[in-house]
Chain A
Amino acid sequence: MSEKNSNADTESVQSNTIECLNISEKRVGFFVTCLVNTMRPSVGFASITLLEQAGCNVEVPELQSCCGQPAFNSGDDEGTRQVAYQTIEQFENFDYVVLPSGSCAGMIKKNFVEVFKDDSEWLQRAQNLADKTYELLSFLVDVCNFEPENVEFEGSYTYHDSCSGYRSLGVYEQPRKMLSKVKGLDHKPLNGHSECCGFGGTFCVKYSDISNEIVAEKTENVLATEADYLLGGDMGCLMNIAGKLNREGHTEIEALHTAEVLAGLATEIVGAKNARK
C-alpha cells in the first residue's frame, strides 16, 4: 500500500464508526471463489486492493477451493459437507470472511447450516463462520464504510443485481453508492435489474435452452440502456450475460466486475481486451 493511500485511509477511518476504527486490527480472510480464480483473477486482485484501501488486514489462505454450491444445488448433501469441512477449518479463525460474489457468500452465510442440521458441533462452527461472512461490496460499505477516492473511469454503466446478492443478502445500494464516487462514470438504470439472468449455476448447463431464453431477455434489456459497461458483483451472471452478448455479436458493451472498476483496474482491463479483438 502506498504512503499516500494509507494516510487517506487513516483519515477516512478515523471519521467513521467505532467498528471501522478497529478494522485494521481485524483479520479478513479472502475467499477467492472458483470463477474468479480460474476465469477472472483480476477481480481477486481488485478485491484485495479495495479491502486494503478500506484498511483491512487481508489474508488469502492458500488451501481454499470452492464454496460447494454445485454439490448443494444438486442435492448432494454429503458432498457439500465434504467441501464445507475444509472451508470452515480454513476460515473460521478470521474476524471476517469476504467473497467477491453474492452467490458464494450466500452459500456460506445461508446454506452451510442446512447441511449440518444433524451435527451439532459442525452446525455451530458453520453458524460461526456464517455470522462473519460477507459479500465484498456490502462488506466495504456496511462494515468498512468505504468510499473510493480518486478513481476515474470514463463511460456509462448499467447494473445487474445478482439474485443471491439482491434477495438473499440485500446487496443493492452499496455498489451504486460506491460507483457514484467514480469520476466520469454515469449510471443507466437497467429494466428488470433484479430479474434472474438465467445463470443459476448448474441450471444453465442442465437447462441450457431455457437459460438461453432467459439470458436473451436480459441482454435485450442491457442493450436497451445503451450503456458502455455492464457491471455486477457476481462472475457467474456476468459471464452468462457477456457470453450471450458476444454470441449475438454485441461487442459494443463490456462486462466488468464492480470491484475491477472501484479498484481502478477497469481502464487497463478494457484496453487489454480491445487489443485482443
Chain B
Amino acid sequence: MHANKPENFYQNVTEALAQPDLKMIIRRTTDKAETKRAEAIANFPEFEKARQQGQKVKDHTIKYMDHYLAEFEKNAAAQGTIVHWASTGEEASKIVLDICRQHEAKKVTRSKSMLGEEIGLSHALDNSGIERVETDLAEHIIQLAGDPPSHIVWPAMHRSREDVIKLFREFHKDPTYSEEITDLVRSARRDLRTKFLTSDIGISGSNFLLADSGSSCTVTNEGNAELTITPPKVHIVTAGIEKLVPSMAHAVPLLRLLTRSATGGEITQYITFHNGPKRPNDADGPEECHIVLVDNGRTKMLADGMEEMLRCIRCGACMNHCVVYKHIGGHAYGSVYPGPMGSVLTPHLDSLKVANKQTHACTLNGRCEEVCPVNIPLPKLLRALRAESWQKKYEPLTNRYVVKAYAQLAKRPRMFQFVSSCGVVFMKLFSRQGWIKSMPFTGGWTRNRDLIEPESKTFMQQYKASKKAKSSGGR
C-alpha cells in the first residue's frame, strides 16, 4: 500500500469511503475500544481527579521544559546514557543511522514508536540497507504488508484477520495453517524470536522520560520492548521532548490514565523503566545506551500557543471516539498521526499549508475533548488552526468568497433578512411535496440528503405582519 499524502486529503477520503469493508474493520476495533474504555472509566471513580492531576503534571513540565530537559540530560548521562539532541526528524534519523553505522549493525529490532514513524526512521533504515525488524505484533503485520500505520495504538487495525492469515503464510519461515489467533501469535513469535536474539541494535520509543533519574519508560502488552532492548549490545531510544515528566511519582497518574484511555486496561502486561547501560553486576542489558531527544516542531508549538497539544500521551482515545476517523480510517489523513490529535499535530510537524484540510474535517462535536485523559481542547485547537489557515489564505478561494459574502450580509441585519426572504421564495420554486431534491447552490447538501421545504414566509416576515395586525386591531 502506498503512503497517502496529507495534501491529497480529499482524494484520500474518497478512496477510503470507496473501500467496502474498511468501515466494518475499523469499527471492530474502535467499538471495542470505546466500550472497554467506558467500563474502565466507570470503575475508576477518581478519573476526573486523575485527569486534572495528569493535566497539571504535563502543564508544569511543559512550562519548565528547559529546566527538566537539562535535569534529564544530566541524570541520564550520570547513568552512562549518551544523550543526543535533534531539532528535526531528519536530524534524529541521521543520529540513529550514524550510531548503527559506527557499530556496523546489519540488523536492528524495533519496538513500536510513533515518534520513530514521525521522524521517518523506518524509511531511513530501509534505505541504508540495514535489516529492520518490527517486533510489535501489529507493526510486524504492517511491515509484512508494506503499509503505513493507521492508528497510533493499533497500527494494523485496517487489516482483517484474513489478511493476517495470508501475510503470515506468505512471509513466515515456519507458518501456521491454523486460523486461530493464538496459533497466529505463536507463528509471529517463532518468526521474531531468533531475530530478537541476533539483533545488533535495539531501537525503542519512550512513553515517559523521568527527569530526576534519566530513565525511559516503555508501556507494552507483548513484552517486545524488553526483548528489543535487552539482548542487543546497543539500545537507542528516540523520544519527543514532550515525553518528559519530573519523576516516577509524576509518571504514575499519567500511566493510570494512559492504559485506561487506550485499551480500557487498568494496567498493561509490561511497564519497564530503562536505566542506561548494564552495570558491572547486571546479568544482562545493553552495553551502550543512547537517547535521541527530538524537537521536530514541538518548541514551535509552544511558541505558537499550541502548548496544550504537548500534553498528549498518545492514547488514541480521541480517534476511537471520532465520527470522522471511524468512517475514513487513519490512512486518509496522510500522516503518522491521524484523527483529532493528528489533525492538530500534523500542521506543526509537516506544515499547515499541506495539512489544513484535515482541520476542517471535523464537526466540532466535542467528543474527543470529552474523552481526552489530559483535557486537551482539541476542537478549540482545530478551530485555531482554521483561523491561522484563513489568515494565511490557504482555503480554496470559493470557500473564502462564500464565507466573506456571508459575513458582509450577516453584519447588516436588514439586508440579511431581505436576502433570507428571497431565499425562501427561491427555494419554494424547487419544492415538491414538502421536499427539495436538488436546486442550485445546495449541491453539498442535496448530494446526499433532501432539504425540507420552508414555509412561505420567513419568521421575521410573519412576526412583523402579526405585530402590525395586532396594533392595527387596536390591541
Seen from chain A, the residues whose Cβ lies within 8 Å of a Cβ on chain B are 32, 34, 36-42, 44-45, 60, 62-66, 68, 70-80, 82-83, 85-86, 90, 114, 163-164, 167-168, 195-196, 198-215, 239-240, 242-244, 246-247, 273, 276-277
B460 CB–A CB distance under 8 Å? yes
Q: Flag if A196 contacts B367 (CB, 8 Å).
A: yes
Q: Flag if B460 contacts A207 (CB, 8 Å).
A: no
B350 CB–A CB distance under 8 Å? no
A102 to B355 alpha-carbon distance, docked (Å):
30
For A82, the closest partner residue in chain B by CB is: B411
For A277, the closest partner residue in chain B by CB is: B433
Q: Flag if A74 contacts B403 (CB, 8 Å).
A: yes
Q: Can you give 27 A-B contacts (C-beta < 8 A)?
A: A32-B460, A37-B458, A38-B420, A42-B455, A63-B414, A68-B407, A70-B403, A71-B410, A72-B383, A74-B399, A74-B403, A79-B403, A196-B363, A196-B367, A198-B323, A201-B364, A206-B360, A206-B399, A207-B324, A207-B361, A208-B448, A209-B17, A213-B23, A239-B452, A246-B435, A276-B433, A277-B433
Q: Flag if A71 contacts B360 (CB, 8 Å).
A: no
Interface residues in B434-475 by Cβ distance below 8 A to A read 434-435, 444-445, 447-455, 457-460, 462-464
B14 CB–A CB distance under 8 Å? yes
For B328, the closest partner residue in chain A by CB is: A210
Q: Identify B365's interface contact among A45, A114, A167, CB under 8 A.
A: A167
Cβ–Cβ < 8 Å partners of B407 in chain A: 68, 70-71, 76, 78-80, 82-83
B171 CB–A CB distance under 8 Å? no
Cβ–Cβ < 8 Å partners of A204 in chain B: 444-445
Which of B410, B450, B460: most chain A Cβ within 10 A? Answer: B410
A-B contact count (CB 8 A): 202
Q: Flag if B360 contacts A65 (CB, 8 Å).
A: no
B13 CB–A CB distance under 8 Å? yes
Q: Flag if B327 contacts A214 (CB, 8 Å).
A: yes
B7 CB–A CB distance under 8 Å? no
B268 CB–A CB distance under 8 Å? no
For A79, the closest partner residue in chain B by CB is: B407
Interface residues in B375-402 by Cβ distance below 8 A to A read 380, 383, 385-391, 395, 399
Cβ–Cβ < 8 Å partners of B223 in chain A: none
- What is the minimal beta-carbon distance from B232 to any residue of chain A, in angstroms? 44
- What is the minimal beta-carbon distance from B282 to any residue of chain A, in angstroms? 51
- What is the minimal beta-carbon distance from A164 to any residue of chain B, in angstroms? 8
- What is the minimal beta-carbon distance from A87 to any residue of chain B, in angstroms? 9
B430 CB–A CB distance under 8 Å? no
Q: Identify A62's interface contact among B324, B403, B406, B460, CB under 8 A.
A: B460
Interface residues of A: mostly helix, strand, loop or mixed?
Answer: helix
A31 to B210 alpha-carbon distance, docked (Å):
53
Q: Flag if A74 contacts B413 (CB, 8 Å).
A: no
Cβ–Cβ < 8 Å partners of A34 in chain B: 420
User: Assuming the A-B contacts A63-B414, A86-B413, A247-B448, are A75 and B366 also in contact, with contact meaning beta carbons closer than 8 angstroms in the complex?
Assistant: no
Q: Flag if B413 contacts A167 (CB, 8 Å).
A: no
User: Assuming the A-B contacts A41-B459, A75-B387, A203-B360, are A196 and B365 also in contact, with contact meaning beta carbons closer than 8 angstroms in the complex?
Assistant: yes
Cβ–Cβ < 8 Å partners of B386 in chain A: 73-75
Q: Identify A210's interface contact among B17, B395, B457, CB under 8 A.
A: B17
Contact string against A for B residues 401-422, beta-carbon threshold 8 Å, 1 for contact and 0 otherwise: 0011011111111101100100
Q: Flag if A85 contacts B411 (CB, 8 Å).
A: yes
A41 to B459 alpha-carbon distance, docked (Å):
4
Q: Identify B455's interface contact among A40, A68, A82, CB under 8 A.
A: A40
Cβ–Cβ < 8 Å partners of B387 in chain A: 75-77
Cβ–Cβ < 8 Å partners of B411 in chain A: 65, 82-83, 85-86
- What is the minimal beta-carbon distance from B430 to any residue of chain A, in angstroms? 14
For A69, the closest partner residue in chain B by CB is: B364
User: Assuming the A-B contacts A32-B460, A71-B406, A79-B407, are A208 and B390 also in contact, with contact meaning beta carbons closer than 8 angstroms in the complex?
Assistant: no
B370 CB–A CB distance under 8 Å? yes
A99 to B40 alpha-carbon distance, docked (Å):
37
B362 CB–A CB distance under 8 Å? yes
- What is the minimal beta-carbon distance from A70 to any residue of chain B, in angstroms? 5
Q: Flag if B433 contacts A243 (CB, 8 Å).
A: no
Cβ–Cβ < 8 Å partners of B412 in chain A: 65
Q: Flag if B424 contacts A75 (CB, 8 Å).
A: no
B146 CB–A CB distance under 8 Å? no
A202 to B13 alpha-carbon distance, docked (Å):
17
A273 to B327 alpha-carbon distance, docked (Å):
34
A206 to B448 alpha-carbon distance, docked (Å):
12
User: Assuming the A-B contacts A39-B452, A83-B407, A210-B324, are A163 and B413 also in contact, with contact meaning beta carbons closer than 8 angstroms in the complex?
Assistant: no
Which of A78, A203, A240: most chain B Cβ within 10 A? Answer: A203
For B424, the closest partner residue in chain A by CB is: A38
For B447, the closest partner residue in chain A by CB is: A208
User: Assuming the A-B contacts A41-B457, A65-B417, are A209 and B13 also in contact, with contact meaning beta carbons closer than 8 angstroms in the complex?
Assistant: yes
Interface residues in B274-331 by Cβ distance below 8 A to A read 323-324, 327-328
Q: Identify A246's interface contact among B17, B367, B450, CB under 8 A.
A: B450
For A43, the closest partner residue in chain B by CB is: B459
Q: Flag if A40 contacts B365 (CB, 8 Å).
A: no
Cβ–Cβ < 8 Å partners of A243 in chain B: 435, 445, 449-452
User: Assuming the A-B contacts A63-B413, A70-B403, A239-B451, are A77 and B362 also in contact, with contact meaning beta carbons closer than 8 angstroms in the complex?
Assistant: no
Q: Identify B366's interface contact among A41, A163, A277, CB under 8 A.
A: A163
User: Assuming the A-B contacts A70-B406, A210-B324, are A205 and B459 also in contact, with contact meaning beta carbons closer than 8 angstroms in the complex?
Assistant: no
Cβ–Cβ < 8 Å partners of B13 in chain A: 207, 209-210
- What is the minimal beta-carbon distance from B402 to any residue of chain A, in angstroms? 8
For A168, the closest partner residue in chain B by CB is: B366
- What is the minimal beta-carbon distance from B440 to any residue of chain A, in angstroms? 14
For A218, the closest partner residue in chain B by CB is: B323
Q: Identify A41's interface contact among B380, B434, B452, B455, CB under 8 A.
A: B455
Q: Flag if A65 contacts B416 (CB, 8 Å).
A: yes
Q: Flag if A212 contacts B449 (CB, 8 Å).
A: yes
- What is the minimal beta-carbon distance from A207 to any residue of chain B, in angstroms? 6
Q: Flag if A44 contacts B450 (CB, 8 Å).
A: no
User: Assuming the A-B contacts A38-B423, A44-B459, A76-B404, are A215 and B449 also in contact, with contact meaning beta carbons closer than 8 angstroms in the complex?
Assistant: yes
Cβ–Cβ < 8 Å partners of B444 in chain A: 204-206, 208
Which of B389, B423, B460: most chain A Cβ within 10 A? Answer: B460
- What is the minimal beta-carbon distance from A72 to any residue of chain B, in angstroms? 7
Q: Flag if A196 contacts B323 (CB, 8 Å).
A: yes
